[in-house]
Amino acid sequence: MTADLFESVAGLLPSREVMAEGAVLLRGFARPVEAELLAAISEIEAQAPFRRMFTPGGHQMSVAMTNCGNAGWVTDRSGYRYDRIDPGSGKPWPAMPSVLRELAESAAGEAGFAGFVPDACLINRYEPGAKMSLHQDRDEKDYSAPIVSVSLGLPAIFLFGGPRRSDKTQRYRLAHGDVVVWGGPSRLFFHGVAALADGEHPLLGRKRVNLTFRRAR
Ligand code: SIN
Ligand code: FE2
C-alpha cells in the first residue's frame, strides 16, 4: 500500500486509545460536526458570555467558562455547584443544542456507556497560558454516568492520573476534534490541563474550547 493510500484509509478508521479502565480517547471523533458545534457555541456565548469565575478560596480562574443545559457548573466564594440559573444574567443557561447532546451520547456509547443523557455542558475557553490544575469531577450527584470531554481549537496537554492526587499522571495531547470519555472505574480519576501553548488554529484562532458533558443531577 502506498503511503498516501495508507493515510486515507487510516483517516477513515475510528481511532481509540484506552487510557485506563473506563477511560478512552477517541481521536477526531467530533470532526464531522465541527461546523455545527462552533455555530452552536457562538449562539450560546451570545446569550451567556464566557467569564472567569472565582474559586471559593478567592482565586480567579485562568480559564473562562459558560454553560448550556439544565444545570450549569459555577464557582464563587460560597463554593462549587450546579445551578439552573446563570448568575451573570439571572436567567436559565441556554438549552443544550441537539448537536452537542447527540455528540456526547454517541461518544459515550462508543466508549461503552450507552444510555448516557447529559444535563450539563460546561464550556471552557483557554487562551495561551490558561490551565486547569489537577482535580476530580465530584460535584455531580451520581457517579454512574461518565464524563465526556470534547476538545476544539489549539491542542492542549491533558493530564490524566488515578484515584489519588499523588498518582502519576499520563500526558495526552488533545487536538481539535478529540473526545475523551471517562467513567466507571476511572470516573473519579484526577485530571487537569497544562498551560496552553500559544498558536493559531485555522478555525478558532489563539484559543482552545473544551466542552465537558456531565450528568449533574
Ligand atoms: C475539565 O476537567 O473540566 C476540563 C478538561 C479540559 O479542558 O480538557
Ligand atoms: Fe474536570
* Ligand 1 centroid to residue 126 C-alpha, Å: 10
Between the CA of residue 132 and those of 14, 61, 126, 186, 216, what are the distances in Å?
28, 8, 9, 19, 20
Tell me the three cell numbers of residue 79: 463554593
**Could you report the per-residue pLDDT of 163-181, keeping only the tens digit for each?**
999 999 999 999 999 999 9
Neighbouring residues of the ion ligand 2, judged by CB less than 5 Å: 137
pTM above 0.85, yes or no: yes
Return the ligand number nearest the Cα of 159.
Answer: 1
Which residue's CA is the nearest one to ligand 1's atom 6?
A: 210
- Mutate-to-test residue for ligand 1 from 53, 209, 212, highest number of ligand atoms within 8 A of CB: 212
Residue 63, pLDDT > 80, answer: yes
What's the number of domains the chain is made of? 1
Q: Please tell me the predicted confidence (pLDDT) of residue 12.
A: 60
Of 32, 37, 74, 39, nearest to 53 by C-alpha is 74
The grid coordinates of residue 24 equal 478512552
* 52's grid cell: 472567569
State which of 50, 122, 132, 188 you would mutate to test the pocket of ligand 1, scoring each by most atoms of that ligand within 8 A of its C-beta.
132
Residue 178's SS3 state is coil
pLDDT reported for residue 1: 45
> Atom 7 of ligand 1 has which residue's CA nearest to it?
210
Work out the pLDDT band at 5, boundaries 50, 70, 90: low
**What residue numbers bound the domain in which 178 lies?**
3-214
| Cα 5 to middle of ligand 2, angstroms | 38
Task: Examine the pLDDT at 6 and tell me if it is beyond 90.
Answer: no
The pLDDT, as a whole number, for residue 96 is 98
Cα-to-chain-centroid distance, residue 51: 17
Contacts of 80 (CB under 8 A, 6+ apart): 56, 73, 74, 139
Does the pLDDT at position 217 exceed 80?
Answer: yes
Closest among 55, 53, 75, 76 to 64, alpha carbons compared: 53
Q: Residues of 6-35 as b/e, b for ≥16 C-beta within 10 angstroms?
A: eeeeeeeeeeeeebbebbbbbbbbbbebbe
- Report pLDDT digits (tens) over 81-125: 999 999 999 999 999 999 999 999 999 999 999 999 999 999 999
CA 47 vs. chain centroid, Å, equals 20
Strands (E), 90-214: 120-126, 132-135, 147-153, 156-160, 170-174, 179-182, 191-193, 208-214
- Mean pLDDT, the chain, rounded, equals 95
- Is the per-residue pLDDT at 2 higher than 60? no
pLDDT in tens, 9-27: 555 656 899 999 999 999 9
Return d(Cα 177, Cα 150) in angstroms, integer: 7
> How many angstroms separate the CA atoms of 207 and 194, rounded?
14
- The CATH number for 31's domain is 2.60.120.590
